[in-house]
C-alpha cells in the first residue's frame, strides 16, 4: 500500500433540486475522509429546476466542493468529461464518478481510494460479486441489468462481472489519452473498451445499488434500442480485438 493518491470526485447533476443538497453534503463529507488530497466537482448539466442555484450556494459554503456549469444539457458523458477536465487542470491523479442521487454509497469512495493507493489504475464497483447487490432496484430494471452484464462480461472478457456500472474510479493520466466521444450512458462501456485496448486490467469490489426515493424524479437511464446497440457494439469490438491479439501471438 503506497501513499494515498489525490482524488477528484465528479458528480453529474441534472434536475435533482429536491435532494441534491443532502447528497452533496454527504459526498463532500465522505471525500474529506480520503487520506490524500481530495475535491468534489459537481457538474450541472443544464438543469432547469433550480439545481444550479443550489450548487452555487453550496460551493460558497462547503470547503472541498467546486462546480462546473453547462448552459444547456449536453448529456451524461459530456458532464463526466467536463468534471474530469476540471480535475486535470488542478493536477489530481485519480477521478471517481458517482451519481447525484445517493443510490451508490458514498463510503465506497474510500474503498476506491484504498484500491488506488494499492496501485490499481481502473476501479469498478460491482453489483454482481459476493457482497454486492441491487435488490432494491425494481425487478424489471434489475433483470435487464443482470442479463446485459452476463452478455457484456462474456464479450469483454475482462474478468469483471459488472461492465455497465458507472460507479468507478480511473487514473487521470490514462483517461486523458483515451479519445472518448459518447455523450450518453454508453460512455461507460466506451471507456472500458479503451482501457482494455490499452492493456489496463480493471479491479472490482462489491457495492450495493439502492433505488431512488419518492421525492426524486424517476431514473433517466433509458433501456432504448439505441443504447443497447451501442453497448453491444463496444462489447463486440472488445471481443474482436481480443481474438486478433491472440492470433498475433507467436
pTM, two decimals, is 0.93
pLDDT digits (tens, 9 = 90+) for 171-212: 999 999 999 999 999 999 999 999 999 999 999 999 999 987
- Distance between CA atoms of 162 and 222, rounded to whole angstroms? 18
In a domain? residue 176: yes
In a domain? residue 1: no
Total domains present in the chain: 1
- Band of pLDDT at residue 244, cut at 50, 70 and 90: confident
Question: What count of other Cβ atoms lies within 10 Å of the Cβ of residue 88?
Answer: 15
- Band of pLDDT at residue 11, cut at 50, 70 and 90: very high
In a domain? residue 2: no
In a domain? residue 166: yes
pLDDT digits (tens, 9 = 90+) for 130-176: 999 999 888 888 998 999 999 999 999 989 999 999 999 999 999 99
The count of residues in the chain is: 250
Domain that holds residue 242: 7-248
Estimate to the nearest angstrom the gap between the alpha carbon of 90 and the chain centroid. 20
94-97 and 7-13 as β-strands: parallel, antiparallel, unpaired? Answer: parallel
R_g over Cα of the chain? 17
Per-residue burial over 96-131, b if 16 or more Cβ lie within 10 Å, else e, is bbbbbbbbbbbebbbbbbbbbbeebbbbbbbbbbee
What is the CATH classification number for the domain harbouring 169?
Answer: 3.90.550.10
In a domain? residue 96: yes
In a domain? residue 55: yes
pLDDT digits (tens, 9 = 90+) for 77-129: 999 999 999 999 999 999 999 999 999 999 999 999 999 999 999 999 999 99
Amino acid at each position: 500500500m503506497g501513499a494515498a493518491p489525490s482524488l477528484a470526485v465528479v458528480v453529474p447533476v441534472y434536475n435533482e433540486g429536491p435532494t441534491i443538497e443532502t447528497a452533496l453534503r454527504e459526498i463532500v463529507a465522505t471525500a474529506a475522509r480520503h487520506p490524500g488530497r481530495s475535491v468534489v466537482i459537481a457538474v450541472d448539466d443544464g438543469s432547469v429546476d433550480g439545481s444550479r442555484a443550489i450548487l452555487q450556494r453550496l460551493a460558497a459554503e462547503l470547503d472541498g466542493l467546486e462546480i462546473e456549469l453547462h448552459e444547456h444539457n449536453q448529456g451524461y458523458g459530456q458532464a463526466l468529461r467536463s468534471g474530469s477536465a476540471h480535475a486535470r487542470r488542478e493536477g489530481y491523479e485519480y477521478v471517481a464518478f458517482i451519481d447525484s442521487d445517493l443510490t451508490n454509497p458514498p463510503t465506497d469512495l474510500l474503498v476506491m481510494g484504498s484500491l488506488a493507493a494499492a496501485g490499481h489504475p481502473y476501479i469498478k464497483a460491482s453489483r454482481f460479486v459476493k457482497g454486492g447487490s441491487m435488490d432494491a432496484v425494481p425487478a424489471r430494471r434489475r433483470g435487464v441489468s443482470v442479463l446485459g452484464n452476463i452478455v457484456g462480461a462474456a464479450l469483454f472478457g475482462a474478468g469483471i462481472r459488472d461492465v455497465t456500472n458507472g460507479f468507478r474510479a480511473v487514473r487521470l493520466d490514462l483517461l486523458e489519452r483515451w479519445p472518448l466521444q459518447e455523450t450518453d450512458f454508453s460512455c461507460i462501456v466506451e471507456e472500458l473498451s479503451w482501457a482494455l485496448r490499452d492493456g489496463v486490467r480493471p479491479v472490482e469490489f462489491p457495492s450495493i445499488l439502492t433505488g431512488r426515493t419518492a421525492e426524486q424524479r424517476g431514473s433517466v437511464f433509458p433501456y432504448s434500442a439505441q443504447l443497447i446497440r451501442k453497448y453491444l457494439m463496444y462489447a463486440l469490438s472488445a471481443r474482436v480485438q481480443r481474438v486478433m491479439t491472440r492470433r498475433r501471438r507467436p
